[in-house]
Chain A
Amino acid sequence: MIKPQEIRKIGVDGLLRNNPTFRLVLGTCPTLALTTAAMNGIGMGLAVTFVLIFSNAIISALRKVIPNEVRIPAFVLIIATFVTLLRMLLDKFIPSLYESMGVYLPLIVVNCIILGRAESFASKNPVVHSAFDGLFTGLGFTLALTLMGAIREILGAGAIFGVTLWDFRIEFFSSSAGAFFVYGISIALFNFVYTKVESRMHKRKFEKLYGHQELTVQEEAK
């Protein structure tokens, strides 16, 4: 079974270290298209999370059965099955979300985050680990989309989660140009903060091990 430390590691990887949106820059199409409002970002993020958890679990369960040569078509078939299921469920139970996602809902099939996790994690790890990896990678994606959606909604529409805050609006942020702008700046800020935090953590770990000493290149490489 899975140990708590392993869940923690997978969690940190999915949410921060390998954040699909900001660190790996995967799944860019829905990120740019569906962040006009925070609510759209949550909807798309959770849809991808749903597909990721199940596709990761099934692919991991079948990883010893699927021959290596045909693994990509097999993965795509499994992913397409879950996207079809999701589409039927949304059409039946949450029609408003189904409408707002439009053509981007079937396009979850070709979202490179899902195929990427299948290829790099689920095809090599046990079922429970893979399901957790799907969950946390999906949540990392959802968080990033919600954050960007909130920024664009506040600046572009003067609202948050559909609640109007003020009358001040900058149309630019609702347009397609604003999507590229906000995404670019978000990646830059995330990388800036991430490298700062990481270097501090490395330093602390080093001090714990060796006491307060000068960090030399040789020791850092260890």
Chain B
Amino acid sequence: MGTFMMIVILAVFVNNFVVVQFLGICPFLGVSKSTRNALGMGIAVTVVMTITCLITYPLYTYVLVPLKLEFLEIIVFIFVIAALVQMLEKFIKKFSPPLYKAMGIFLPLITTNCAVLGVAETVIDKAGMINMVGSSGLGTSVLYGVFAGVGFTVAIVILSGLRTKVDALTPAKSVKGYPIVMVTACFMAMAFYVFNLISL
């Protein structure tokens, strides 16, 4: 139970993938115009991250390491993610058209989302995981994947809420668009910084 809570707090707040580790900034800025879309993107990323961890961790530990092919990890991982996203898209389209309507447009974007490759690279680093949450293994990896996704969702939904206010402003031309959203994200990052002060 202790480890579980630790993973939740670390993955969602302290090491938040978006505002603390800067992974997945492109969808964070690009798909946060409306809360509805932000939530859809967040859920899609969480699902893909979970399944990615479920596949890449055993693949790395039980296939690449014994065969001494660790140097191929980047190529293997990116192909697992690309294939997974493609399959998921086909699968959802076939079995749940309403879900596809809500989530479909976000799926192709996820292949190049660095948060997904980032989580795959994070969980295979055994020493790093033990240092961070005190254990490593398939269960820990998948849990970390789930809650890293939840952290992403929390961040993108909060930003989309803030943006409905910010986009209504009419600032100077050169500040409009990305600069003002960055400054909004800056205040969010400050809020998340407080979690660094928690001693676990």
- Any chain B CB within 8 A of the CB of A80? yes
* CA gap between A177 and B19 in the complex, in Å: 8
Q: Is the CB of B22 within 8 A of A32?
A: yes
How far is it, in angstroms, between the C-alpha of A143 and the C-alpha of B109 when the chains are bound? 28
Contact assessment for A176 and B20 in the assembled complex, using a CB-CB cutoff below 8 Å = yes
Give the segment of A9-17, A53-61, A183-191 that binds chain B. Answer: A183-191
A110 in the interface (beta carbon within 8 A): yes
Residue of B nearest to A177 (CB): B189
Q: Interface residues of B, CB < 8 Å — how many?
A: 42
Which residue of chain B has the shortest Cβ distance to A181 in the bound complex?
Answer: B186
> Which residues of B125-158 are within 8 A (CB) of A?
none
If A80-B78, A192-B174 touch, whether A107 touches B114 (CB-CB below 8 Å) is yes
B189: chain A residues at CB < 8 Å are 175-177, 179-180
Given contacts A107-B118, A175-B193, contact A84 B75 (CB under 8 A): yes
What 0/1 readout, one digit per residue, does chain A (78-93) give for beta carbons within 8 Å of chain B? 0011011001100000
Q: Does the CB pair A184–B181 fall under 8 Å?
A: yes
Question: For residue A25, which residues in chain B have a CB less than 8 angstroms away from its CB?
Answer: 29, 178
A25's nearest neighbour on chain B, judged by CB, is: B178
Q: How far is the CB of A43 from chain B (nearest CB, A)?
A: 16
* Docked pose: A97 CA to B185 CA in angstroms: 28
Within 8 A of A (CB), among B162-189: 173-175, 178-183, 185-187, 189
Stretch at the interface among B5-13, B37-45, B66-74, B87-95: B66-74
| Bound complex: CA A176 to CA B21 (Å) | 8
Whether the Cβ atoms of A28 and B78 lie closer than 8 Å is no
Whether B178 lies near A76 (C-beta < 8 A) is no
Residues of B near A73 (CB, < 8 A) are 79, 82
Pairwise interchain contact B183-A184, C-beta atoms closer than 8 A? yes
Q: For B107, what are the chain A residues with a Cβ–Cβ distance below 8 Å?
A: none
Interface assignment of A62: CB less than 8 Å from any CB of chain B: no
Further contacts, 4 of them, CB under 8 A, given A111-B114, A185-B183? A80-B74, A107-B117, A180-B182, A180-B189
